[in-house]
Structures are given as structure tokens and as C-alpha cells.
């Protein structure tokens, strides 16, 4: 048969497939989440997140060493306080878990890039992401405590802060607060498009952040609304965000693509706990090849347009890159 075009010519062997590959990824794009729990001597497995642990600040170096050896350049710290209250005051405590971990990491692992999640849900007794007025989150009062938290992280050594609360106006408010205190060079990565997703279940167990009543649909995004997602991202760009994020990743690749097409800022996607747990469960049941599926899922995020991937598989993905399974 006379065919002028035969796409299979460029799939003949690994060499040519590698040369014509359209989407390439590297370790430099990976960010690894770490849960830091207030206390001492803690290295506790997280039942809902196989292979993940709670670390007290004095033990977080054990995980950071693994991250460094894997070649993953960045971590994202989440904190779990010993005590919670209605306003989440532990979030900005100078001796809080995240603040202690930052100082240790900055001293012992200066080559790692340290990002902090800025939110209140892990710290409030009611589990919501801000200060309550009755049973509703008071948007503007919450901005004040988010700013205090971001400043405490900056003072402890954070390289970047990442507010995940989904309060209106938080990026502008936080940018001004950081600038006033001399942190004008500290970037903000906004959870610009964070959906009220069912994929967060294992994380809420790991972070102890399930709301005591109601849900978060009053501030996190409705997953029916792609145009609203672009509006949220646009507002954060206008308010001074340095990078954007879409969360979750797997079921929202269309949103990743739309945000990438519209905006030029660096874009992260967060492969959340439910995505990770599903792959782990299917692999444990013998239904899939864990490495193959995890690599394919990660590649899809980059193919959709993300520059960075926040994932519990970061260390493993780095190893699989070394093995040539993904790259």
C-alpha cells in the first residue's frame, strides 16, 4: 500500500521515541508534601496514606534526607498542632510544627526549596478554613490570620508560601502584608483553583482537618464551573500571585489546560491524597502496575500544561525517571 505518511516510523524503537517526545518531565518539577506534627520523637505511619508519615520537627530530617537523595528539589509542609482553638492560633505560633521544621530544614538542607501551606483548617477546633461568624467563615477577618501565618512562615525561613484557604482577596492582602514586613522577594503560589472535591478524604484524616459541621462548598469551588475557575485564576494574577495551582489534578486536567492557555504564570497541579490512595489500593489488589500507572498519571498532568507537580509519589517518580520509565 502506498502511504506517504506512516506515523509508526517515529515509534520504531526507544531512541526515536525519545527524540520526538513532545512532553518531557524532570525531577526539578516535583514537589513533595510532608506532614509535620507538633511533639517529639514522632515517626508515625498515616493509615489513610500508605507510605506517608507524620514527623515531629526533630524527626523531619529523616524524610528530608530521603527527599534530597531522590533528587526532589522542593517540599510542601503541612502542620498539625498539639492543641486547636476557634481562631487557629497555632498556625502562627513561632514554635509551631511548621515553623520549627522550617528552621531545621533551612539549617540542615539549604539546597531544598521550602514551601508552606497557609490555611487554618488543621489548626481550628471546628475544622473550617478561617474565623467563624456563626456557622459561616468570615472572609475578611480570616485574611488577617492568614497574613499572620504567612509572616510567621517567612520569618522561620520559608522560600514560598502557598495559601489554600480560597478566601476572596487573600493574595492581595498577603502580598501587602509580606511587603510591609520586608518580604517583597518572597513568592506566593496561590491555590487559585481549588475545588470542593471528594478526593480529599485521606488528607483530611492525615491532617486532622475534617470540618466539625457542614462542608467547604461555601468557599471552595463548585466542580461544575470551568469558567469560574478561570475567573478565580485571573483575580489571583491581578492581585500579585507569582504562581498558580489547580487542585485536584487527575479529574481536572481540562482546568489545568484552560489555565495554562489563558495565563503565563508558572502553574502547579496537586495530585491529591485520594488519587494517590486509589493507585495504591489498586496496586495492592494486584489490578495494576503501580509504577506504570503512577508515571502515566503524572505525565498527563504535564501534558495538560502544568510546570510543577505536587505529589506523594515525588520520590518514587524521581527514581522511575532514573530508570527511564518516565522522562
Q: Is 119 annotated as a binding residue?
A: yes
Tell me which of 27, 37, 106, 247 is the catalytic residue. Answer: 247
Q: Is 204 annotated as a binding residue?
A: yes
Residues 267-292 as b/e (b if ≥16 CB within 10 A, e otherwise) read bbbbbbbbbbbbbbeebeeeebeebe
> Where do we find the cell 503560589?
189
For residue 100, what is its C-alpha cell? Answer: 520549627
> Where do we find the cell 508519615?
53
> Where do we find the cell 530544614?
105
Q: Is 65 annotated as a binding residue?
A: no
Residue 66 designated active-site: no
Q: Is 295 annotated as a binding residue?
A: no
Tell me which of 84, 194, 280, 315 is the catalytic residue. Answer: 194
Q: How far apart are CA 327 and CA 317, in angstroms?
A: 9
| Under 8 Å between Cβ of 115 and 161 | yes
Residues 88-119 as b/e (b if ≥16 CB within 10 A, e otherwise) read bbbbbbeebbbbbbbebbeeebeebbbbbbbb
Q: Is 312 annotated as a binding residue?
A: yes
Sequence-ordered list of residues with C-beta below 8 angstroms from that of 323, at least 6 positions apart, any chain? none
DSSP code of residue 222: P
Q: How far apart are CA 249 and CA 37, in angstroms?
A: 26
| Under 8 Å between Cβ of 229 and 255 | yes
Residue 247 designated active-site: yes
Length of the chain: 327
> Where do we find the cell 500500500?
1
- Name the residues annotated as catalytic: 194, 247
Binding-site residues for Mg(2+): 232
* Binding-site annotation: residue ranges for Zn(2+): 119, 121, 129
Known binding residues are 119, 121, 129, 204, 216, 232, 273, 312
Task: List, as residue ranges, the binding site for 5-aminolevulinate.
Answer: 204, 216, 273, 312
Amino acid at each position: 500500500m502506498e502511504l506517504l505518511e506512516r506515523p509508526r516510523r517515529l515509534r520504531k524503537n526507544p531512541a526515536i521515541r525519545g527524540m520526538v517526545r513532545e512532553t518531557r518531565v524532570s525531577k526539578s518539577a516535583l514537589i513533595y508534601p510532608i506532614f509535620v506534627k507538633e511533639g517529639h520523637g514522632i515517626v508515625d505511619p498515616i493509615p489513610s496514606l500508605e507510605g506517608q508519615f507524620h514527623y515531629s520537627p526533630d524527626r523531619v530530617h529523616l524524610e528530608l534526607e530521603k527527599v534530597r537523595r531522590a533528587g526532589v528539589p522542593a517540599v510542601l509542609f503541612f502542620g498539625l498542632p498539639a492543641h486547636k482553638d476557634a481562631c487557629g492560633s497555632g498556625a502562627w505560633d513561632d514554635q509551631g510544627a511548621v515553623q520549627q521544621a522550617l528552621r531545621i530544614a533551612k539549617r540542615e538542607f539549604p539546597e531544598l526549596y521550602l514551601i508552606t501551606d497557609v490555611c487554618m483548617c488543621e489548626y481550628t477546633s471546628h475544622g473550617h478554613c478561617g474565623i467563624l461568624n456563626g456557622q459561616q467563615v468570615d472572609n475578611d477577618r480570616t485574611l488577617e490570620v492568614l497574613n499572620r501565618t504567612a509572616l510567621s512562615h517567612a520569618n522561620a525561613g520559608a522560600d514560598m508560601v502557598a495559601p489554600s484557604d480560597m478566601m476572596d482577596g487573600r493574595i492581595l492582602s498577603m502580598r501587602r502584608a509580606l511587603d510591609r514586613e520586608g518580604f517583597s522577594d518572597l513568592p506566593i503560589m496561590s491555590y487559585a483553583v481549588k475545588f470542593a472535591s471528594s478526593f480529599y478524604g485521606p488528607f483530611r484524616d492525615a491532617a486532622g482537618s475534617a470540618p466539625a459541621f457542614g462542608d467547604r462548598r461555601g468557599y471552595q469551588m463548585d466542580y461544575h464551573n470551568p469558567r469560574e475557575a478561570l475567573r478565580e485564576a485571573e483575580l489571583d494574577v491581578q492581585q500579585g500571585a507569582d504562581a498558580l495551582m489547580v487542585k485536584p489534578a487527575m479529574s481536572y486536567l481540562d482546568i489545568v489546560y484552560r489555565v495554562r492557555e489563558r495565563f503565563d504564570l508558572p502553574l502547579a497541579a496537586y495530585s491529591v491524597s485520594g488519587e494517590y490512595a486509589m493507585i495504591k489500593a489498586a496496586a495492592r489488589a494486584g489490578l495494576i502496575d503501580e509504577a506504570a500507572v503512577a508515571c502515566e498519571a503524572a505525565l498527563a498532568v504535564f501534558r495538560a500544561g502544568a510546570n510543577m507537580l505536587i505529589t506523594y509519589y515525588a520520590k518514587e517518580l524521581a527514581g522511575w525517571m532514573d530508570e527511564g520509565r518516565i522522562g
